[in-house]
Amino acid sequence: MDYIILALVGLVVGAIAKFIVPGKQGGGIIVTAILGMVGSLLGTYGGQQLGIVSTASGTHWIASIVGAVIVVFVYSLLTKKSDGKG
């Protein structure tokens, strides 16, 4: 049951991150969920290590979205196809 919730949260956070990051990122629903899960873990864990995220205060959702935006941005850079210019 926890894995289903993790996947759903990852999908929601990944979709929000893909909406925020400009450009076309590609990938389907599975890629979106994976990017969201990785970003959520990265943002929440990193924020807790810095002492700015607390699960009690609800800041973990913001950290999850910020982490997912970073992951989606890096993913879009890595999967960008060269247009032959430059």
Note whether residue 86 is domain-resident: no
For residue range 25-60, list pLDDT tens digits in order: 778 889 989 999 999 889 888 888 888 887 677 788
Residue 83 placed within a domain: no
Distance CA 73, CA 42 (A): 14
pTM given for the model: 0.83
Domain assignment of residue 82, yes or no: no
Domain extent, residue 66, equals 2-77
Count: domains in the chain: 1
| Residue 17 · residue 40 · CB < 8 Å | no
Residues 6+ apart with CB under 8 A from 59: 47, 52, 53
User: 63: buried, middle or exposed (CB in 10 Å: 19+, 13-18, 0-12)?
Assistant: buried
Token pair 């210019």 is found at 85
